[in-house]
Amino acid sequence: MLDSEQCPDCKRIGAVLSRVGDRWSVLVVVSLAEHGTLRFNELKRTLGISQRMLSLTLKEMERDGLVSRTYHPTIPPKVEYTLTALGQSFRQPVTALSRWAIENLGRIDAARTAYDAGTAQ
């Protein structure tokens, strides 16, 4: 695939979105933005995510500098996650996106129903 004619930003935007724009990362940001700090299993319960995916998602987000991880070596152990400054700055676009999602879910469903009704006949 040649790059010559592509819009220069599309690759970069796509690159970042494929990192932080996935389903789970967005939901983690929403939850941490709302609650401030959450433990591993609190996030797991809140998001309805599998242990595996939460672990992978949080590790990636920590690597990307979006969340910070604090380990308390108590018994039982306790690990708290919170947004970094970069993660905080991500809040605004994410809340804009999720608010749009909530407000327009009905319209999308309606469009789908209409489209399916029109093509199925």
Q: Rule CB under 7 A: say whether 79 interacts with DNA.
A: yes
Q: How many residues bind a second copy (CB under 8 A)?
A: 57
Write the single-letter amino acid at 7. Answer: C
Residues 25-54, one symbol each (x = binds DNA by CB under 7 A, - = not), give: --------------xxxx------xxxxx-
Task: State the angle between helix axes of 51-63 and 40-47 in degrees (0 to 180), rounded to the nearest 10.
Answer: 120
Query: Which residues ranging from 31 to 70 are in contact with a second copy (CB under 8 A)?
Result: 31, 34, 45-48, 50, 62-65
Q: Rule CB under 7 A: say whether 59 interacts with DNA.
A: yes
Q: CA nearest 101: which of 46, 21, 42?
A: 21
3-class DSSP state of 44: helix
CB of 71 to DNA, least distance (A): 7
d(CA 65, CA 71): 16
The residue with tokens 């309805």 is 48
Q: Which residues bind DNA (CB under 7 A)?
A: 1, 18, 22-24, 39-42, 49-53, 55, 58-59, 69, 76-80
